Amino acid sequence: MRNNLQLGTNMNLTHLDEQNKPKMVDVSNKDDTTRVAIASGIIEVTPEAFEAVVNNQTKKGPVLQTAVIAAIQGAKQTSSLIPMCHPLMLTSLKTDIEELPQVPGFKLTVQAKLTGKTGVEMEALTGVSVGLLTIYDMLKAIDKGMVIRDIQLEHKSGGKSGDFNR
């Protein structure tokens, strides 16, 4: 068994120990900084499903409001879902859902924030994923062919690695 998994230019993975066993990274020596991450994703739906959501005529209730709650809950549960994520004390979660009539579909954006030793990218990405899956769940009786796409990190700030902007 190889001691290190190498990517590209000899970059070692931080979630493996000297015996090549999985580990959660020790962040105890890192400085507390304000960290922000913004992620987004899109769900494409049929015109019929789009109109049902916009006109609040779905059988399962208010789709977009439920997706917002799900996105917040998903972000808060990230460390329970992603094995190497640290449990974090998030100080802020903001969501936005944009109607995309030309697609048709919806773009969900989640901003996660905290002051701490590790970033919140996974929380923002998980929030987007869970929120979009909630839209899918609530509309699947109308449209089984929905497509969830372009889940991505838009921005991150704070920490040693600095800022990232897509």
> What is the number of structural domains in the chain?
1
pLDDT at 160 (0 to 100):
84
Q: Of the listed 31, 32, 96, 137, which one is catalytic?
A: 137
- C-alpha to C-alpha distance for 113 and 123, rounded to whole angstroms: 9
pTM comes to 0.87
Q: Which residues of the chain have pLDDT under 70?
A: 1-13
Residue 55 within a domain: yes
Residue 22 within a domain: no
Sign of torsion over alpha carbons 48, 50, 53, 59: positive
Domain extent, residue 46, equals 30-165
Which amino acid would we find at residue 4? N
Hey, what are 105's tokens? 């579909």
Scan for tokens 């400085």, then name that residue: 31
CATH number at residue 43: 3.30.70.640
Q: Is 163 a catalytic residue?
A: no
pLDDT at 11 (0 to 100):
56
Q: Is 7 helix (H, G, I), strand (E, B) or coil?
A: strand
pLDDT at 159 (0 to 100):
86
